[in-house]
Structure 1
Amino acid sequence: MASIRDKGQTMQRKVILLFGGESQERFVSVATAQNLSRFLPNALCWFWAPNDAVYEVDAAFLQEHKDPFNAAFEPQIPVLFETLPSALDCPDYKGHIFLLGLHGGRGEDGTVQKWLEDRDLTFTGSHSEACGKAFDKVWAKSVLADFPIKMAPTLVVRGNDKLSLEALRTLFETHSKVVVKPVHDGSSVGLCIIESDRALQAALDMVCSQLDRPFIAEPFIAGTELTVGVVDEAHGPRALPATEIRAQAGRTFDYNGKYLGHGVQEITPAEVSAEWVKKAQEMAVLAHKALGCVGYSRTDLIMHEGEAYFLETNTLPGLTRASLVPQQLAAEGTTLTSFLEHVLDMAEKHREQK
């Protein structure tokens, strides 16, 4: 396979840009689709609505949608298919490549990928098993525990498990600063940092209000947050330039910071030492390979006392205009058009090799 930087500027394939979903991250997915559709003038744009219906929307209508990170995208057109599985069953689209602009929920946990695999359809990104591993933060850490990757100890907390709730109290008493986040969500949805008794109670209330949703709690690791994209090439995975995340005092890199620019600065390339960048890139590539990721991914980490500590890996990282992977591609001089063509190439190659 040619290098991503050797790609041409035209794409003649039949492509379906699939976006939306039922999770909170569907707002990010719409913004990703808005960005990608600018470079895919001939692609079909399928919006997967929260009620499972599929709409084929005009790219111009998609582009006109304002404030995608806050405002619901609601096409006022007839439904194309009642469910996504029924859409995937339609033989008319057998020869298309599904470019996945999905984030979170069934779009990133391996469910949609398994539907596509079962129908022998071509799609971008990792296969279902790798998506499942990466999306489940506990599963991901159990896999990476067999590799030389540093991680904070993890406590699983459930609202209906009193022992885990007491363990969270003990963790806070021991470390005085604790991070709590959902096991299965990305985009920093549901992230909170406990630094006071009041914040602890708020976190406990949040966990107990969502009995069907497990959370993880970890001691807060002070340091510099970096994130590194990884792209598969002919010779193997290649790390992109690192991005440094700087949060203002009292702010966290949550959904509002990541997508609305509230109290957070993203610096690409990261203004840290070459040694730190090398360690971050090596961890990102190792996590990509260990989890079995395909195509591209992004790994978040903390540099603490000169060592990289793993936070999480995203198998379908955001590709909005404001997202980190596009920033990193631009920093190395790669256009999004070239990246997309490369990703579509890899999807076809991966299917041929199965």
Structure 2
Amino acid sequence: MRVALSMLRDASEVLGPLLSGGHSTVAGRLVGAFRNIGRRKIADDILASMQAAGYDVRESDPFEAPSPLPLLSKEISPSVNWLRILWESMREPVIKHFPPSPGSVKNIEGYVKQIEEIYVTDAYHSLSIEGYRVSPGLIDRVRQGSWNPDVNDSDKAHKDALAARGYWQAFQAVKQSIQKILAGECAGGVADDDHSRWYRELFAPSVEAGLCKPSDLAGYRNGSVFIRRSKHVPLSHAAVRDAMPAFFDLLRNERDAAVRVVLGHFIFVYIHPYMDGNGRIGRFLMNAMLAGGGYSWTVIPVEKRADYLSALEAASVDGDIVPFAKFIASCVNAKVQPVAGK
């Protein structure tokens, strides 16, 4: 059984059936088994995802003793080498066209306060880029807790409100991740550990409202995904499970903050690991990397959506990262006006 478990690369390979069937007992045994063979992250992701869907999971180790030897995973996808080549080929153009790191943040409390103050503006633009019809008033109502699907049927059925609530929850999780980064933890390592939580928080309200299935919280996609009006075809779902650990290794080992910012965002959406939410999480990831480099939280304005997508397309299809590096740099250097309205 240990050998079979060692062949799995990511929790999403087993979470779908566990969540769909509500198999909390089996989940508990799998959590213990994965922890036994040294796959802590898979164990933690199974546990957190089941709990996020409302299941009570009791961890238990089905083995009598720890694994006597480290178990090797199956051979990796060729996509991993392509990803490494892509990263290396894009590093220097990014460094050339992106402002250098301002250095580590000295006033952590002040930095976090600025993040909190920009929330409504950030949520409005990020959600609007994805096509949600949200207003600053709705976003603020969600933040203040006056959005209540338990007593208000219109709130429960309103997908835009659910998206806003999910964004609020994910934003809080990202803020906690950034606080760890500002305290000195490796930005790439924190993102690796925490991005699955960002995803779960983003869609948890829709699951609770019954608009999404619990299995939608399973994590990385188990099928193909296509991007509207784009020539880019994301990696196959099988390749995703090899590509994501390789991506986070690159992010963790990258010494240049500018490269972490630009390629962190780009490569994430290039892989497109989830069925939905890739853009929002990609921008969260970008801002986590910005914090690690001492840059300010940056909003990509919905008014520049066409330029944003065009730059991503040039990088994804033509391999030209320069337009995207320049675009993100322009957003970092710009000051987006706070949104107002009801």
Please indicate the TM-score interval, normalised by the length of the shorter structure.
under 0.3
What TM-score results when the alignment is normalised by the length of structure 1?
0.24
**With CA pairs under 8 Å and 6+ residues apart, which has the higher RCO, 1 or 2?**
2
What TM-score results when the alignment is normalised by the length of structure 2?
0.25
Greater share of strand residues, 1 or 2? Answer: 1
Greater share of helix residues, 1 or 2? Answer: 2
